[in-house]
Copies of this chain bind each other. A is one copy, B any other.
Amino acid sequence: MPRWEPSAEDRLREAALALFLERGYENVTVTDITDHAGLTRRTFSRYFADKRDVLFAGSERLPQVISQAVRDADPALGPAEALLAGLAGTAAILAKHVPRSPERRRVVAGSTELRERELGKFAAVTDALTETLRARGATEVGARLLAEVGVAVFRAAFARWTEEPDGADFPVYITEAAAELIGALGPIADQRK
């Protein structure tokens, strides 16, 4: 069996994560990362704008990817069902583009700057989802609340998915997180008008 050769991009990401965890995100430079990976700064620039970008590259596509998946859900589904189907439907893209590693989560959790960036990223997802759910028939306030719930479910599912690299596929975690939420809502969920 041929040995798997990580790409330059993967080597840079792994080097960055290892250094961020070892020394703290604030104390690592781009030169530290390229030295550790045995690659040049020019190669780094081909993939990433700066060291923060190693953690967030591609995330500007997240609002579009998630809301498109909700738009693509079966037109017969109501807004909430389309939301869950759409979140599960991002699985293929996640599996292809997102490293299933718990290290990134730990790095982000350890820095106020990175946590705020992460919050901003998901706020953009909430905005995009609100639009999409409005278009699928939710009320204005309902669409925003549902979008917030969707992002919360996505993040809970994503956290477990990355923490369990040998675990189930992403849609299973979406279903579990949604069930956990409905269970937690308890009797409140029955108070429908």
Contact = CB atoms under 8 A, between A and B. Distances in A.
Interface of A: 78-81, 84, 112, 115-116, 119-120, 123, 133, 138-139, 141-146, 148-149, 151-153, 156, 160, 177-193
Contacts of A181: 142, 145-146, 149
Contacts of A143: 184
Number of chain copies forming the complex: 2
Majority secondary structure, A binding face: helix
A95 B148 CA distance: 26
| 4 interchain residue pairs of minimum CB distance | A142-B184, A148-B152, A189-B189, A119-B119
A145 B81 contact: no
Nearest to A83: B188
